[in-house]
Amino acid sequence: MCLIIMNDDKLIECAKIGRTVGLAGDLLIYWYSDSPPVSVGDEIFTSSSEKSRPLIIRSIKRHGNKDKIAFEGILDCDQAKLLVNKLLYISESKLEALEPSEYYSYQLIGMEVFDCDDNRLGILKEIFPTKVHDVYVIADEEGRELMIPAVDKVIIDIDVEEKKMKVKVPEGLAFY
């Protein structure tokens, strides 16, 4: 997940645009969250150039496990095709507030990870969601990876400000 800064506001990667739908410029959107963080009239940004291009949401409808979305000014299939496979960003200020022990993925990716003895394990590189809990992928300096479950018994402390995480590595887990 990527983070960019625009006008002192953080833009957070939140989705990827899929294929076009129909002839009126609608597109399928694959959100990185369970529900879209936007609604009709909201501004969202695309990664199509160095300066993020603002798009205004004209309509949004559930379409299977995705959303079908239409943007103002995108009125036909040819215009919509230019947006296919682009990434979408939302202003951090528009994100829903979370409980104190909850975090967005962008806040965790890139954190330094330490064990309970303060030995540096590596960097949190990736998060895999599963039906039961997330799995954190930690990469060390040699490129080896350790996969740990994101559960309370394992994740001891998260400090978003310091970008550090303390974990208790379950017995039997090792870098590979």
Structural domains for the chain: 3-94 (2.40.30.60), 105-167 (2.30.30.240)
Tokens of 34: 């369970």
Question: Phi then psi for 77, rounded to 5 degrees?
Answer: -60, -35
Residue-wise pLDDT for 90-143, tens only, equals 888 888 888 888 888 889 999 999 999 999 999 999 998 888 999 999 999 999
- Mean local confidence (pLDDT), 149-161: 95
**Burial (CB count within 10 angstroms: exposed 0-12, middle 13-18, buried 19+), residue 34:** exposed
Report the run of H or E that residue 87 belongs to, with start and end: strand 87-91
Tokens of 33: 């969250």
Alpha helices, H only, the chain: 77-81, 105-108
Task: Note the pTM of the prediction, 2 decimals.
Answer: 0.69
Tokens of 127: 């998060």
